[in-house]
Chain A
């Protein structure tokens, strides 16, 4: 077990509201190994933030267990808090303090002496190319700078595991790529990183292993290559019509080269390994049956096809 950094088993969170129970996480089990960059991928509302909230002791689970480095998040939250660094989804920097002070006080809250905290803060600001901004107010920072300050702040007390909740959401593409470089460097130095994201591209290009999450549970978990092989090297042809696609799905299933097909509402998905050779015939099926074709999309084997295969739904970012 020594190489397991984070573990959850049948983790659940149900919120009771006046309008009934909301099941945010419905039985989530996963294992993050030490030294890996682990991604929780899922659409908005999949339960990623609630999961990170439970792993970082901010949300109390209603079922199952979760631990960080063997310390249970409910029974021993203080040990967990000592071991983790957290970069929340929103800018929670202390607006009354400067950039340097934000880092310093984070270190002192965690038990560093004032002198040690200052030295560590200066080192981290240097490392994140924020040295010249040390005395700046946090309200003067751009989105990307604030995000780097938050990461630096989370690292002040040398955490064993760094959690980042949607770290690049709302950042421009260039800033996002810069942030990826920072995370890759940290991983190369041996940090364990857990990040949630709703960007498929981010999970694909950054993470060692990925847990695909929807409706509060893990649909699939593994390296990108494993995940792709789980759903097969299939391409999905996604067609949208002006009427119910159900009436042509039977006919599509009969076509040569179509492995499977499914319809929901006005959309139809055909799974195939030979997309080029069936596309021409496929687009004619609808019009022959009186349906106008509105949109055609070719989804090559990727996390997106994994998601389509697992959920029968298109991925919505």
Chain B
């Protein structure tokens, strides 16, 4: 029965100030597709809600010099989908972001919210990790940058410091012959939560992989960057042995739990299957297919 205060500041400094001053009693509202559900379920009862959608840096998409992208943390999936070039450069990140919720949810849900919710099953997170995305964070002590994989700390927890807000994602420029893909296993065909999610980013030259990153979700307390899987792919022509080695690396990286959404055995096996399928799609795209 506590009252909830609502603030919608126009600047990040105001937002950080109010957020930090509330000392843990505040929650950030971007799209609200997790926050409002958790409040209605009685899981959390914030004393203050800081709506960040009035802060232009957090809702804009910019192309950086050299062809990278800077995406405001509160940009909705639908807005990202409507950007004329983003999906051509980062089709895997876009398909991952666009898998969050239904069409209606897409009008609200943001990659920043998906990351800060801390769910190991967040769809955009493995794709962002595979993309090598870096987040800009602003807090009472100023700004800093973190790779996406450094943000999650465990289910529902992040490594953000008190009062810190994720401002934006920066995705690097893409060399020629690069692309990415994201696949998830869900029992249904939509409106579901990943049992396993795999993001793969590849750069190909002369039929060989010159760079690769693999993000793996829903199989451990946090979304993982699977370095061994990338190393198995780099330098290869994506022959069966190297892809199988990458799949094995994904299976080895799994530290899943048995729960209502899947068993340990199931998740581990599916991680390998999805790695292979995701690599195939990313490679096809990288080759201009």
A-B complex is real: no
List A residues at the B interface (Cβ < 8 Å): none
